[in-house]
């Protein structure tokens, strides 16, 4: 099934230490399907990545994975609607960004942060008008948000750019915020 909108979800290839993270992934997956969206994600069958992919598939929506060749044999999800295999992580991110209309980070590590911050940086620079969000499950991103607020106070991030990041504790609230999102007209240097 081809959808009109696709949500790219960046998340961990592990489940983390708290079962609430996997539960949040499943809740987001159900909300994505309920709203008629498709999912774009990193293509793995493990961790939170596998949880959200399985949930969206079970709910009848399309799931597109994008995985580097190096990881394909080891962790690729075999039951996706479509799996793109690319050569590098850079190619992976570029294709995920091209295929998607929204970007959400669930709890995760370095890769998750890299992916959401690159999408947010591209929005800040005006390369795309797509909303970027954090699902702040159990306060996972609280310290990061405090750091970003400090960056605003210290003059490294403009307040308007910080406000481009949608944040919510529940999948429904986050998707509501993101569907209502309007990009600022302010550009980085102007």
User: What's the pLDDT tens digit per position in 63-88?
Assistant: 999 999 988 777 889 999 999 999 99
Give φ, ψ of 25 to 5 degrees.
Answer: -65, -45
Question: Rounded CA gap, 63 and 92, in Å?
Answer: 15
What's the CATH code of the domain at 150?
3.40.50.450
Note the helical H segments in 59-167.
Answer: 69-75, 89-99, 110-124, 142-153, 159-162
Whether the pLDDT of residue 132 is over 80: the answer is yes
The percent of residues above 70 in pLDDT, for the chain, comes to 95
Residue 81 lies in a domain: yes
Residue 185 lies in a domain: no
User: What's the pLDDT tens digit per position in 9-37?
Assistant: 999 899 999 999 999 999 999 999 999 99
Cα torsion 35, 5, 42, 69 to 10°: value is 140
Sheet with 63-68: list strands edge to edge.
82-86, 63-68, 38-41, 6-10, 102-105, 132-135, 165-168
User: What's the pLDDT tens digit per position in 30-61?
Assistant: 999 999 999 999 999 999 999 999 999 999 99
| Overall domain count for the chain | 1
């Amino acid at each position: 099934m081809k959808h009109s909108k696709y949500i790219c979800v960046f998340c961990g290839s592990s489940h983390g230490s708290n079962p609430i993270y996997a539960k949040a992934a499943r809740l987001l997956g159900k909300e994505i399907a309920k709203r008629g969206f498709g999912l774009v994600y990193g293509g793995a069958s493990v961790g939170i990545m596998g949880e959200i992919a399985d949930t969206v598939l079970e709910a009848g929506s399309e799931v597109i994975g994008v995985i580097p060749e190096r990881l394909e044999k080891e962790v690729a999800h075999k039951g996706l609607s479509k799996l793109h295999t690319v050569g590098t992580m850079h190619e992976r991110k570029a294709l995920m960004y091209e295929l998607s209309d929204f970007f959400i980070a669930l709890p995760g590590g370095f890769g998750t942060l890299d992916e959401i911050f690159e999408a947010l940086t591209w929005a800040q620079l005006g390369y795309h008008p797509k909303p970027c969000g954090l699902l702040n499950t159990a306060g996972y991103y609280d310290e990061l948000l405090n750091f970003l607020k400090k960056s605003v106070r210290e003059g490294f991030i403009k307040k308007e750019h910080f406000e481009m990041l949608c944040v919510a504790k529940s999948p429904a609230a986050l998707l509501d915020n993101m569907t209502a999102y309007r990009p600022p007209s302010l550009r980085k240097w102007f």
